[in-house]
Chain A
Amino acid sequence: KQWYQRRVAITAGDEVVAKSRFWYFLRQLKKVRKVNGEILRLSLRSNTSPTKIKNFGIWVRYDSRSGSHNMYREYRDVSRTGAVTQCYRDMAARHRARAHSIQIMKIESIKAGDTRRPLTKQMHDNKIEFPLPHRVLKYTKKSLFVANRPSTMQ
């Protein structure tokens, strides 16, 4: 009897979702169902260097209302999982794509010189600085109505 063994890297919020997505992707690779298969190992891969900011390029395949598309997206974050979280939120916001219709194909930490998006590139400045003009902060304890307008200077 031939054994088929495959390891898949899944980004998920918890084990249950991870296992479910594992079977989803595996079914696309090999004709095997959860009933006929067995998960040998589920292990958590921890994020490397969680205090170093990296530029992540994420290759996404997602289903829109009228078709399926590939995308390359860039996010700056401290961890792979953080970048993927950003990606899911971003896809939901910009393309109304729900998690079930998104497939993360590849996540890669990219050197600053190889980044493509201006939003990522603008942070690549060793002398980066910006003021906070007209800073509007949420009222935590102050009353909703006050006699004088609050100051918006930082």
Chain B
Amino acid sequence: SSGINAEWPLRPGYKLYFEHQTNNAMLYQRYIEIGRVCYIRLGEHAGKTCVVVDMVDQKHLLVDGPMSGVPRSTIRLNQVAITDLKIAIPRGCKTNKVRVELTKADISTKFAKTSLSKKAEAKEAKAGLGDFERFKLRVAKTTRNRKIRSTVRKLKKSS
């Protein structure tokens, strides 16, 4: 909703500072809330997903991940990345209820499709490369970049 009414004439080429904000439905899409699926970045259970079950304070969450092997425990907000996924659970509900809602919403497959999960997988794959694989990667990169650069040069010359 653009409730901005610019009464002064804008110079051509100038945009209102907050114009791009009003084009979005909401400025913030992801909220920390009960039922939010989070990805644990740091700590003992790094790499696993969990659900926010309750909030201790502004910096700590009570979190549970029955499907991914995260025990019901408190976690710092720092250790966590928010995903787009959310399930409907009452505040402070039991682990079994969380498990039921997770399977109902099929979060594991939905999370596998997110870019966060794919990036984590790619990072893991890259870390697991052997010496020969790394050589092959390097060769593939150089051949690709060579082709790109030569094409760009040709286009520059012709224009």
Which A residues lie at the B interface, using CB under 8 A? Answer: 51-53, 76-78, 119, 123, 126-133, 137-138, 140, 154
Contact B28 A131 (CB under 8 A): yes
- Binary interface profile of B, 26-51, with partner A (CB < 8 Å = 1, else 0)? 00101111100000001000000000
Distance in angstroms between the alpha carbons of A123 and B91 in the assembled complex: 12
Tell me, rounded to whole Å, the shortest Cβ–Cβ distance linking A139 to chain B: 12
Distance in angstroms between the alpha carbons of A138 and B149 in the assembled complex: 36
Which B residues lie at the A interface, using CB under 8 A? Answer: 28, 30-34, 42, 54-58, 62, 72-74, 77-78, 81-82, 90-92
A51-B72, A52-B92, A154-B81 are known contacts. Are A129 and B31 too (CB-CB below 8 A)? Answer: yes
Q: Is the interface of A mostly helix, strand, loop or mixed?
A: loop
Chain B residues near A154: list those with CB within 8 A. Answer: 28, 30, 81-82
Contact B56 A129 (CB under 8 A): no
Q: List 23 interface pairs A-B (beta carbons < 8 Å), by A numbering.
A: A51-B73, A76-B56, A77-B56, A78-B62, A119-B57, A123-B55, A123-B57, A126-B90, A127-B34, A128-B33, A128-B91, A129-B31, A129-B33, A130-B31, A130-B33, A130-B58, A131-B30, A131-B31, A132-B82, A137-B78, A154-B28, A154-B30, A154-B82
Q: Is the interface of B mostly helix, strand, loop or mixed?
A: strand
Chain B residues near A53: list those with CB within 8 A. Answer: 54-56, 62, 92
**9 closest A-B pairs (Cβ-Cβ)?**
A131-B28, A129-B33, A129-B31, A51-B72, A154-B82, A126-B91, A154-B30, A131-B31, A53-B54
